[in-house]
Structure 1
Amino acid sequence: MNEVLKTIRNRRSIRSYKPDQIKEEELQAIIEAGIYAPTAHNDQPWHFTVIENKEKLDYISKKCKELMAKSEIDWVKNMGLNPNISISYNAPTLIIVSGKKSAMAPKVDCSAAIENLLIAAQSLNIGSVWIGLLTFFFSLEDEVRKLGIPEGYEPYYGVALGYKSSDKEVVAPKRNLNVVNYIK
């Protein structure tokens, strides 16, 4: 099996990080991988907001959890109420991926970019996790405006990045392989 396929198969969502910031060249390589994702009509409709400031990350987590605590979905509400949980899992870096609203398929394109970010991080032995719960924070328009996301762009998801707190291999959940039909 080639290295790309191995990297894809070995990638896991990591939720425990060392406090050390990842190296600038690693961050740039990961972002560049995101920029090289495929897009509808080559729109390249993404914008990446990189947050490495711990106080800002803690603030985003706090505001997000305040809204989650009001959710009618029990597991979301419980996460919001849990004082031991950080939305970005205390990762030292968070990339918020936003899409140009006027593009053909910005959410799909940004999702492809996120997958590239995750695979690139794995290839560099950097932990990552895709964070959808940030949508609670994104509902706070005044807060989102403070992030400097360009006009006409909408934040969709976040990607937490950092060095894994443990070298222990995370076992992959069993995959359902019975999801393909062939027409020949």
Structure 2
Amino acid sequence: MIVNDALKIIKQRRSIRSYKDEQIKEEELRAILEAGLYAPNAGGQAWHFTVIQNKELLDRLNLAAKEAAKHMDMEHLRELGNNEKFNCLYGAPVLIIVSGNVQVPVPLEADCAAATQNLLLAAESLGLGSCWIFFVMLAFNSPQGSELRKELKIPEGYKPYYSAVFGYKKDAVVNVPDRKPNLITYIK
């Protein structure tokens, strides 16, 4: 089997849900963001990255998302919303929200997803932990959603699609589970 650094990073990347309190270095953050900018896209790079490192704002986003979750149809989300101990950002010091220009006539969600994956892989390559976070996006469906968009300076005409947290891993060793069998079909 072929093995190189890129393939190793892809295989070892895991969703990390336990972080040290320490803020990541500015040069690490810049490298992660640059990797996001180089993601494949349908043209025009119609995304915008919002980087949040302010603990108070991270806490408010967590609370707003939990409040919105309390009113969701899915029981699992309601339970998380009502769980006082649950922090959807897992105590990570950095949250990056990937928003897309809704005026672009191409499947922008795919572009934003590719950018998010690049952010995650870059973090792993630097030895940082990361986790793709859906739950915090519920904050934009909360009563504070419009206010949060303004405070986060998400450009007019852009919609927050994805987000991920980043930080130093509390635990250095992460188990890599085997992949499920029979997920590939070859037609030659």
- The amino acid that maps onto 2:127 is N
User: Normalization by structure 2: what TM-score?
Assistant: 0.93
TM-score by length of 1: 0.95
After TM superposition, give the deviation of residue 34 of structure 1 in Å: 0.4
**Residue matched to 1:79:** 80
Match of 1:109 among 75, 93, 111: 111
Q: Report the Cα offset of residue 151 of structure 1.
A: 0.9
Instruction: Indicate the SS of the match to 1:134.
Output: helix
Q: CA deviation at 1:68?
A: 0.8
Q: 1:131 aligns with which of 101, 114, 133?
A: 133
Task: Say what the alpha-carbon RMSD is for the aligned residues.
Answer: 1.1
Partner of 1:58: 59
Q: Which moved more, 1:169-178 or 1:4-13?
A: 169-178
| Structure 1 CA distance for aligned equivalents of residues 23 and 107 of structure 2 | 33
CA contact (8 A) 1:134 1:157 kept: no
Runs of 4+ aligned structure 1 residues displaced above 4 Å come to none
Give aligned-pair identity as a percent.
48
Q: Deviations over 1:54-99 (max 9, x none)?
A: 0000000011101112222121111111111111111000001100
| Matching residue of 2:174 | 170
Counterpart check, 1:96 vs 2:97: yes
Q: Which moved more, 1:171-180 or 1:91-100?
A: 171-180
- Matched to 1:159, the amino acid is A
| Residue identity matched to 1:171 | N
How far does residue 172 in structure 1 lie from its aligned partner after superposition? 2.3
Question: Which residue of structure 2 aligns with residue 141 of structure 1?
Answer: 146
**Aligned equivalents of 1:63 and 1:44: distance in 2?**
29
Q: Secondary structure at the match of 1:96?
A: strand
One-letter amino acid matched to 1:69? K
Which 5+ residue runs of structure 2 have no aligned equivalent? none
Unaligned 5+ segments in structure 1 are none
Choose 131-140 or 16-25, whichever is displaced more: 131-140
